[in-house]
Structure 1
Amino acid sequence: MRIILGVFAAALLAGCATPAPPRAAVTPLDHLPALRGDYFPFRSREAGHDYHIYVRLPQDYAAHPARRYPIVYLLDGDSLFPVVGGNHIFLTIDDKMPEVIVVGIAYGSFDKPINRRHIDFMPLGPDVKPGESRIADFHNFLERELIPQVEGRYRADPAKRILFGQSRAGALILYSAFKQPDLFWARIASNPSWTPGEDIFFGAAPAATRPDLQLLVAVGTEEYPDRRIKAGEWFSHWNARRTPWKLTRIDIPGGTHSADAANAYRAAMRQLFLTN
Structure 2
Amino acid sequence: MLASTLIRRPAMTFSKPGRWILSGLLFALLTACASTPSPDESLERLFGMGPIEQFTISSATLGRDFHVYVRLPQDYQARACDWPVVYLLDGGILFPMLSPYQLMLEIDEQAPPVVMVGISYGGLGYANGNLRSTDYTAPAPEPEYYGGAFAYQDFLAEELLPEIEGKFRVDADRSLVVGQSLGGQFTLLTALTRPELFSAYLSINPALHRNLDYFIELEPAEAASAVPLMITRSSEEMASLSQPLADWLAAWQTRGSDHLALELEWLEGHYHASSAPEAYRRAMAWWTAAGEACPP
Amino acid at match of 2:151: D
Pairwise mapping of residues 105-254 of structure 1 onto structure 2 (< 5 A)? 105-113=119-127, 114-129=129-144, 131-211=145-225, 213-240=227-254, 241-254=256-269
Amino acid at match of 2:252: W
The structure that has the greater radius of gyration is 2
The equivalent position to 2:277 in structure 1, one of 237, 246, 262, is 262
Q: TM-score under structure 1 normalisation?
A: 0.87
Amino acid at match of 1:261: A
**Distance of 2:242 and 2:210 partners within structure 1:** 16
Runs of at least 5 residues in structure 1 that lack an aligned partner in the other structure: none
Q: What is the SS of the residue equivalent to 1:187?
A: strand
**Distance of 1:82 and 1:154 partners within structure 2:** 20
C-alpha contact 2:207 2:245 (8 A) present in aligned 1: no
**Distance of 2:240 and 2:109 partners within structure 1:** 33
**Distance of 2:28 and 2:240 partners within structure 1:** 60
Amino acid at match of 1:78: G
The more displaced of 229-238 and 246-255 is: 229-238
C-alpha contact 2:174 2:289 (8 A) present in aligned 1: no
Amino acid at match of 2:30: P
**Length, aligned pairs only:** 269
The more displaced of 119-128 and 72-81 is: 119-128
Runs of at least 5 residues in structure 2 that lack an aligned partner in the other structure: 1-14, 292-296
Q: What is the SS of the residue equivalent to 1:202?
A: helix
**Distance of 2:35 and 2:219 partners within structure 1:** 57
C-alpha contact 1:181 1:206 (8 A) present in aligned 2: no
Partner of 2:4: none
Amino acid at match of 1:61: Y
C-alpha contact 1:167 1:258 (8 A) present in aligned 2: yes
Q: TM-score under structure 2 normalisation?
A: 0.82
Q: Which runs of 4+ in 1 moved over 6 A?
A: none
